[in-house]
Structure 1
Amino acid sequence: MKTAHDLVEQARSHIQEVSLADAEAAIQAADLLIDVREADEYHQGHIASALNIPRGLLEFKLSGTPELGARDLNILLYCKTSGRAALAAASLQEMGYLRVKSIAGGFDAWHEAGLPIVKPSLPSFE
Protein backbone atom coordinates (compact mmCIF):
# COMPACT_ATOMS: atom_id res chain seq x y z
CA MET A 1 0.00 0.00 0.00
CA LYS A 2 1.30 3.45 -0.93
CA THR A 3 1.60 6.27 1.57
CA ALA A 4 1.00 9.96 0.94
CA HIS A 5 4.78 10.39 0.81
CA ASP A 6 5.01 7.69 -1.87
CA LEU A 7 2.38 9.47 -3.96
CA VAL A 8 4.20 12.80 -3.64
CA GLU A 9 7.52 11.25 -4.65
CA GLN A 10 5.86 9.53 -7.61
CA ALA A 11 4.34 12.86 -8.69
CA ARG A 12 7.71 14.63 -8.32
CA SER A 13 9.26 12.16 -10.73
CA HIS A 14 6.81 13.29 -13.42
CA ILE A 15 6.74 17.06 -12.91
CA GLN A 16 9.11 19.99 -13.10
CA GLU A 17 9.99 21.77 -9.87
CA VAL A 18 11.48 25.25 -9.91
CA SER A 19 14.24 25.90 -7.39
CA LEU A 20 13.77 28.69 -4.90
CA ALA A 21 16.61 30.56 -6.62
CA ASP A 22 14.64 30.50 -9.89
CA ALA A 23 11.19 31.02 -8.36
CA GLU A 24 10.96 34.79 -8.75
CA ALA A 25 11.77 34.57 -12.48
CA ALA A 26 9.27 31.71 -12.85
CA ILE A 27 6.59 33.81 -11.16
CA GLN A 28 7.27 36.68 -13.57
CA ALA A 29 7.02 34.30 -16.54
CA ALA A 30 3.86 32.54 -15.30
CA ASP A 31 0.43 33.28 -16.69
CA LEU A 32 -1.02 32.01 -13.44
CA LEU A 33 0.46 31.55 -9.95
CA ILE A 34 -1.74 29.24 -7.88
CA ASP A 35 -1.51 28.70 -4.12
CA VAL A 36 -3.09 25.27 -3.55
CA ARG A 37 -3.17 25.59 0.25
CA GLU A 38 -6.43 25.90 2.15
CA ALA A 39 -8.04 29.35 2.44
CA ASP A 40 -7.01 29.82 6.09
CA GLU A 41 -3.36 29.13 5.20
CA TYR A 42 -3.55 31.56 2.28
CA HIS A 43 -5.01 34.32 4.47
CA GLN A 44 -2.15 33.96 6.97
CA GLY A 45 0.26 34.98 4.20
CA HIS A 46 0.90 34.24 0.54
CA ILE A 47 3.06 35.18 -2.42
CA ALA A 48 1.89 38.36 -4.14
CA SER A 49 -0.35 37.81 -7.20
CA ALA A 50 -1.15 34.22 -6.18
CA LEU A 51 -4.66 32.98 -6.81
CA ASN A 52 -5.91 30.69 -4.05
CA ILE A 53 -7.46 27.48 -5.36
CA PRO A 54 -7.24 24.76 -2.68
CA ARG A 55 -5.89 21.40 -3.83
CA GLY A 56 -9.24 19.68 -3.34
CA LEU A 57 -10.98 22.07 -5.74
CA LEU A 58 -8.26 22.67 -8.32
CA GLU A 59 -9.37 20.36 -11.13
CA PHE A 60 -13.00 21.46 -10.73
CA LYS A 61 -12.16 25.18 -10.72
CA LEU A 62 -9.92 24.95 -13.78
CA SER A 63 -12.47 22.82 -15.64
CA GLY A 64 -15.31 25.16 -14.72
CA THR A 65 -13.58 28.44 -15.59
CA PRO A 66 -13.35 28.95 -19.36
CA GLU A 67 -10.54 31.53 -19.14
CA LEU A 68 -8.39 28.93 -17.34
CA GLY A 69 -9.07 26.18 -19.87
CA ALA A 70 -6.25 26.91 -22.32
CA ARG A 71 -3.89 23.97 -22.06
CA ASP A 72 -0.85 26.10 -22.95
CA LEU A 73 -1.16 28.38 -19.91
CA ASN A 74 2.13 28.74 -18.05
CA ILE A 75 1.03 27.64 -14.56
CA LEU A 76 3.18 27.79 -11.43
CA LEU A 77 1.93 26.12 -8.24
CA TYR A 78 2.96 26.15 -4.61
CA CYS A 79 1.73 24.90 -1.25
CA LYS A 80 3.23 24.82 2.25
CA THR A 81 6.22 22.54 1.61
CA SER A 82 5.63 21.40 -2.02
CA GLY A 83 3.88 18.04 -1.58
CA ARG A 84 0.35 19.17 -2.47
CA ALA A 85 1.75 21.31 -5.30
CA ALA A 86 3.55 18.28 -6.75
CA LEU A 87 0.33 16.25 -6.66
CA ALA A 88 -1.56 19.18 -8.20
CA ALA A 89 1.02 19.61 -10.97
CA ALA A 90 0.84 15.91 -11.86
CA SER A 91 -2.95 16.09 -11.94
CA LEU A 92 -2.95 19.16 -14.19
CA GLN A 93 -0.54 17.43 -16.54
CA GLU A 94 -2.93 14.47 -16.68
CA MET A 95 -5.67 16.95 -17.61
CA GLY A 96 -3.58 18.06 -20.57
CA TYR A 97 -1.97 21.24 -19.25
CA LEU A 98 1.40 21.47 -20.98
CA ARG A 99 3.33 24.08 -18.97
CA VAL A 100 2.93 23.27 -15.29
CA LYS A 101 5.63 23.68 -12.64
CA SER A 102 5.77 23.84 -8.87
CA ILE A 103 8.05 25.71 -6.48
CA ALA A 104 10.41 23.36 -4.64
CA GLY A 105 10.11 23.80 -0.88
CA GLY A 106 6.84 25.71 -1.22
CA PHE A 107 5.72 28.70 0.80
CA ASP A 108 7.74 27.72 3.86
CA ALA A 109 11.02 27.85 1.91
CA TRP A 110 9.98 31.13 0.28
CA HIS A 111 9.16 32.70 3.65
CA GLU A 112 12.27 31.33 5.39
CA ALA A 113 14.41 32.87 2.62
CA GLY A 114 12.98 36.26 3.54
CA LEU A 115 11.23 36.72 0.20
CA PRO A 116 8.22 39.05 0.18
CA ILE A 117 4.81 37.84 1.24
CA VAL A 118 1.39 39.45 1.40
CA LYS A 119 -0.25 39.33 4.81
CA PRO A 120 -3.76 40.73 4.86
CA SER A 121 -4.28 43.03 7.81
CA LEU A 122 -7.41 42.84 9.86
CA PRO A 123 -9.28 46.03 10.67
CA SER A 124 -8.99 47.43 14.16
CA PHE A 125 -12.28 47.72 16.00
CA GLU A 126 -10.94 49.86 18.83
Structure 2
Amino acid sequence: METKILIVEDEADLCLLVQNFLETKEYVVQSAYTFEEVMQKVHTFEPDIVIMDYNLPGGKGTDLVSSIKKHNPRISVIVISGMNEAQEAARQSGAEQFIEKPFPLSKIGKAVEATGASGS
Protein backbone atom coordinates (compact mmCIF):
# COMPACT_ATOMS: atom_id res chain seq x y z
CA MET A 1 0.00 0.00 0.00
CA GLU A 2 1.27 3.46 -0.88
CA THR A 3 2.18 5.79 1.95
CA LYS A 4 0.72 9.25 1.39
CA ILE A 5 2.49 12.25 2.91
CA LEU A 6 1.22 15.82 3.13
CA ILE A 7 3.90 18.48 3.54
CA VAL A 8 2.74 21.71 5.13
CA GLU A 9 5.28 24.52 4.81
CA ASP A 10 4.76 28.14 3.84
CA GLU A 11 8.35 28.45 2.55
CA ALA A 12 7.84 27.18 -1.01
CA ASP A 13 11.52 26.31 -1.60
CA LEU A 14 11.76 24.17 1.54
CA CYS A 15 8.42 22.53 0.76
CA LEU A 16 9.59 21.59 -2.74
CA LEU A 17 12.94 20.32 -1.44
CA VAL A 18 11.27 18.00 1.10
CA GLN A 19 8.66 16.89 -1.44
CA ASN A 20 11.30 15.98 -4.04
CA PHE A 21 13.35 14.11 -1.43
CA LEU A 22 10.37 12.02 -0.32
CA GLU A 23 9.28 11.32 -3.89
CA THR A 24 12.71 9.80 -4.57
CA LYS A 25 11.91 7.40 -1.70
CA GLU A 26 8.74 6.35 -3.55
CA TYR A 27 6.23 8.10 -1.28
CA VAL A 28 3.11 9.75 -2.71
CA VAL A 29 3.47 13.39 -1.72
CA GLN A 30 1.32 16.51 -1.87
CA SER A 31 1.88 19.89 -0.30
CA ALA A 32 -0.13 22.67 1.29
CA TYR A 33 0.87 26.17 2.28
CA THR A 34 -1.90 27.49 4.54
CA PHE A 35 -4.01 26.32 7.48
CA GLU A 36 -7.17 26.20 5.35
CA GLU A 37 -5.50 24.28 2.52
CA VAL A 38 -4.19 21.68 4.98
CA MET A 39 -7.61 20.72 6.29
CA GLN A 40 -8.98 20.58 2.75
CA LYS A 41 -6.20 18.17 1.72
CA VAL A 42 -6.55 16.10 4.91
CA HIS A 43 -10.13 15.41 3.76
CA THR A 44 -9.43 14.87 0.04
CA PHE A 45 -5.90 13.39 -0.10
CA GLU A 46 -6.25 11.42 3.18
CA PRO A 47 -2.54 11.35 4.09
CA ASP A 48 -0.96 8.76 6.36
CA ILE A 49 1.61 11.31 7.55
CA VAL A 50 1.57 15.10 7.82
CA ILE A 51 4.92 16.88 8.02
CA MET A 52 4.12 20.43 9.04
CA ASP A 53 5.75 23.69 9.96
CA TYR A 54 4.67 24.93 13.38
CA ASN A 55 4.19 28.52 12.20
CA LEU A 56 1.70 28.91 9.36
CA PRO A 57 -0.41 31.74 8.01
CA GLY A 58 -3.99 31.36 9.19
CA GLY A 59 -3.57 29.52 12.48
CA LYS A 60 -1.39 28.11 15.23
CA GLY A 61 0.45 24.84 14.79
CA THR A 62 -1.11 23.35 17.92
CA ASP A 63 -4.62 24.07 16.60
CA LEU A 64 -3.76 22.46 13.28
CA VAL A 65 -2.32 19.31 14.90
CA SER A 66 -5.46 19.02 17.05
CA SER A 67 -7.72 19.47 14.00
CA ILE A 68 -5.82 16.83 12.02
CA LYS A 69 -5.97 14.36 14.92
CA LYS A 70 -9.68 15.07 15.46
CA HIS A 71 -10.35 14.26 11.79
CA ASN A 72 -8.25 11.08 11.84
CA PRO A 73 -6.27 10.04 14.94
CA ARG A 74 -4.26 7.52 12.87
CA ILE A 75 -2.50 10.26 10.88
CA SER A 76 1.08 10.59 12.12
CA VAL A 77 2.08 14.23 12.57
CA ILE A 78 5.70 15.40 12.40
CA VAL A 79 6.19 19.06 13.34
CA ILE A 80 9.15 21.09 12.10
CA SER A 81 10.09 24.48 13.51
CA GLY A 82 12.97 26.85 14.02
CA MET A 83 11.65 27.49 17.54
CA ASN A 84 12.81 24.79 19.92
CA GLU A 85 10.25 25.96 22.49
CA ALA A 86 7.51 24.77 20.11
CA GLN A 87 8.52 21.16 20.75
CA GLU A 88 6.56 20.64 23.96
CA ALA A 89 3.45 22.42 22.65
CA ALA A 90 3.55 20.30 19.47
CA ARG A 91 3.77 17.06 21.45
CA GLN A 92 0.99 18.10 23.83
CA SER A 93 -1.30 18.81 20.89
CA GLY A 94 -0.74 15.30 19.49
CA ALA A 95 2.35 15.42 17.27
CA GLU A 96 4.39 12.22 17.37
CA GLN A 97 7.69 13.82 16.40
CA PHE A 98 9.44 17.19 16.32
CA ILE A 99 12.32 18.24 14.07
CA GLU A 100 14.16 21.50 14.70
CA LYS A 101 15.09 23.69 11.72
CA PRO A 102 17.51 23.73 10.06
CA PHE A 103 17.70 19.98 9.45
CA PRO A 104 19.34 17.58 7.00
CA LEU A 105 16.88 15.83 4.69
CA SER A 106 18.02 12.50 6.12
CA LYS A 107 16.34 13.52 9.39
CA ILE A 108 13.00 13.81 7.58
CA GLY A 109 13.57 10.36 6.06
CA LYS A 110 14.30 8.84 9.47
CA ALA A 111 11.25 10.51 11.02
CA VAL A 112 9.00 9.14 8.27
CA GLU A 113 10.50 5.65 8.63
CA ALA A 114 9.95 5.83 12.40
CA THR A 115 6.20 6.02 11.76
CA GLY A 116 6.41 2.57 10.19
CA ALA A 117 5.84 3.94 6.68
CA SER A 118 7.56 2.67 3.58
CA GLY A 119 7.62 3.85 -0.02
CA SER A 120 5.53 2.05 -2.63
Give the TM-score normalised by the residue count of structure 1. Answer: 0.42
Give the TM-score normalised by the residue count of structure 2. Answer: 0.44
Larger strand fraction of residues: 2
Higher relative contact order (CA closer than 8 Å, sequence separation 6+): 1
Greater gyration radius: 1
